[in-house]
Amino acid sequence: MQPPAKKAKAAGGPYAPVPPKLPPKAGSAGGAPAFGSFGALPKGGKMLMPTKPHVPETVRPPVKQPAAGKAGGAGGQWGAPPAGSVGPKLIPAKAAPPASSNLFQSKAGPPSAAVPGQEPTFEQILAQNQRILDEQQRRMQEIQAQQEAAARRQEELERRKRDEEIRKQAEELQRQQLELKRLEDQNRREEAENTAKQLQLELNELVMVAEKDLDITTQASEPILNETSRKAMDDKDIIKVAEEFDNGGKKRTQAAIKTASAFMTGKHKQLVGVLEETRKTATEIITRVGKTERSLALLAGKISTVRISAQQRRDAEARKEAALREAKRQEDVFKKFDSGGDGKLTAEDIVLLCKEEYSFELTESRLEGIRKADCFKSTDGVPFAKFAQLRTLIGIARGEVIAKQRKEETERRRKIALEQIARIDKDAAEANQGILGIETEVVKAERNSTPLAALQHQKMFQPTAVEVAVEQVDTAVDAARDFIAAVQEQLQSLGGGEKGIAALEPEAQNQAKKHAQQTGFRLRGFEARLARAEGFAKSAKQKVELHNRKAALLREADAALQ
């Protein structure tokens, strides 16, 4: 029996067959539909298509309506199948919605493969349905794209609105910051101005003090600065006024200028302020300080010139007076040694003059040279007119005597120095003999302290043996230090006896210092070694004492328990 769906002739029948379920298309995973097939999910996870296809009424295969009153029961020839019959399930056909209300209405006509007057095949119906679904999916994608574009536009508008608000807030914040900075700058300017004015007042007072001292000093020095009044003054008075200027007015003015300069040090920026008027005032005050200092220097230069001139004149007068006094003294000396009173000095007078006036013995050879000199030979004596020439000859002879004495003294001291150096070397050798005793005692102390050094890491030891070792170390250390003290005492009196090194000649002193340095270096080494051994002995002694105290406490505890 042929199914009723294949015998339908006209569209719009009451029932339409359900297409059979097809296998999944190639390219889909696990039977899931590929892109464009039924049940595809667009971006965002929203379902765009129903899970079952909707076949429009225009492409459904026509269902033949049974004639009224014919066999087959109510519903016509192809009505509802009788109970118990087997065939395709039929569903009532719904009326197609109007085009204006159906968003997914296809604009495609009947299948192109359908022949007029013939029913479309099942494959043609499926192809037509697929085209309709693709069209609907395309429209859904367009709608979704439009919605996303609208959302992006809305988001862009909101972003622009937020950016505009942020910009306005930033501008307002910047304006507030600029206003705050302006106020701070204004406050700083006002504070700078107040500080500058206060500093200028203080500096002005200091400058006025310096200017006043300069005026007083200038007035006091006016007598020696005025040429007319200076000529009427004695050089002694001029020098006195100049000294008063140096010790009085000049020092006071310099101190005042120094105070003003010290006040300005590091305060120039605060002094000038920020306004032009304040800057001008500060410049004027600072200029006054420099002007006062330059005026004082100029005044000091003028007074120094006047003082130097007066001092030179006075020195010249003093030299002239000294020359006159010396000439008078030489005349008196000549008269004193002129034994004959004839205005001439004989050879005997010259010898006596050298002995008493110049403190040296004139040799016979030099006396013979004076006799042959022009000052003596022409008149068989030395007149007062040639006394100066005689003094020159006496000075030469005296120089020779002094040079000879110095040479003899140098030779004498050289011999003494050699003797002292020999004695120093001998004393140093004797002192070094004590080094052997020191070395012996130091070695003994180190040998006895070696077990004591290891005692610090031992818990078990014999107190008696430790005490004996400590006593031996102390004895060796005391003996070594006695030797060291004896050697040091010998070094302090090398070659000088009880007077010490200070009584020696410079060469001998250098030799004694050399021996003292060499021996002292060795003694310091011995002291360091002794200190180390003594430290070990002291630590061991403390440990023994601690052990004895613990033992005593234990004995007392045992006695108390018994």
CATH number of the CATH domain containing 340: 1.10.238.10
pLDDT at 66: 44
Q: Quick one: which of 518, 513, 515, 524 has its CA closest to 438?
A: 524
Three-state DSSP class for residue 92:
strand
Which bin fits 11, alpha (ψ -120 to 50), beta or left (φ > 0)? beta
Cα 28 to chain centroid distance, Å, stands at 74
Radius of gyration of the chain measured on its C-alpha atoms: 68
Q: Quick one: which of 471, 426, 406 has its CA closest to 444?
A: 471
Pair (435, 332) in one structural domain: no
Question: Is residue 48 assigned to a domain?
Answer: no
Residues of the chain with pLDDT under 50: 1-114
CA distance 67 to 30: 48
Question: Is residue 98 assigned to a domain?
Answer: no
- The residue out of 324, 358, 374 marking a domain boundary is 324
Pair (188, 263) in one structural domain: yes
Q: What is the pLDDT of residues 260-288, one digit of tens each?
A: 999 988 888 888 888 888 889 999 999 99
Question: Looking at the DSSP assignment, which residues form a beta bridge with residue 344?
Answer: 383
Residue 16's φ and ψ, nearest 5 degrees, are -135, 135
CA distance 451 to 499: 47
Pair (332, 318) in one structural domain: no
Question: Is residue 156 assigned to a domain?
Answer: no
pLDDT at 202: 92
For 318-449, strand residue ranges (E) read 344-345, 382-383
Pair (196, 315) in one structural domain: yes
Range of the domain at 239: 183-324
Pair (356, 308) in one structural domain: no
Count of domains observed in the chain: 3
Pair (256, 356) in one structural domain: no
pLDDT at 211: 92
Pair (396, 457) in one structural domain: no
Pair (204, 286) in one structural domain: yes
Query: How distant, in Å, are the alpha carbons of 143, 284, 432, 488, 504 from that of 494?
Result: 122, 74, 12, 10, 9
pLDDT at 112: 47
Question: Looking at the DSSP assignment, which residues form a beta bridge with residue 92?
Answer: 15
Question: Is residue 224 assigned to a domain?
Answer: yes
CA distance 421 to 415: 10
Question: Is residue 517 assigned to a domain?
Answer: yes
Residues 335/341/347/349 CA torsion (nearest 10 deg): -40
CA distance 447 to 534: 12
Q: What angle do CA 147, 150, 151 make, to 5 degrees?
A: 85
Question: Is residue 138 assigned to a domain?
Answer: no
Three-state DSSP class for residue 71:
coil
The answer to whether 450 and 534 are in contact (CB under 8 A) is no
The structure's pTM equals 0.41
Question: Is residue 532 assigned to a domain?
Answer: yes
- The residue out of 354, 382, 415 marking a domain boundary is 415
Question: Is residue 66 assigned to a domain?
Answer: no
pLDDT at 542: 85
CA distance 398 to 487: 50
Crossing angle between the packed helical segments 347-357 and 364-371, to the nearest 10 degrees: 130
Question: Looking at the DSSP assignment, which residues form a beta bridge with residue 16?
Answer: 91
pLDDT at 150: 94
pLDDT at 73: 39
Q: Round the average pLDDT of the chain to a whole number and report it.
A: 78
- The residue out of 415, 442, 469 marking a domain boundary is 415
pLDDT at 376: 82
Pair (318, 334) in one structural domain: no
Pair (230, 340) in one structural domain: no
Pair (226, 295) in one structural domain: yes
Pair (320, 388) in one structural domain: no
The answer to whether 13 and 64 are in contact (CB under 8 A) is yes
pLDDT at 80: 40
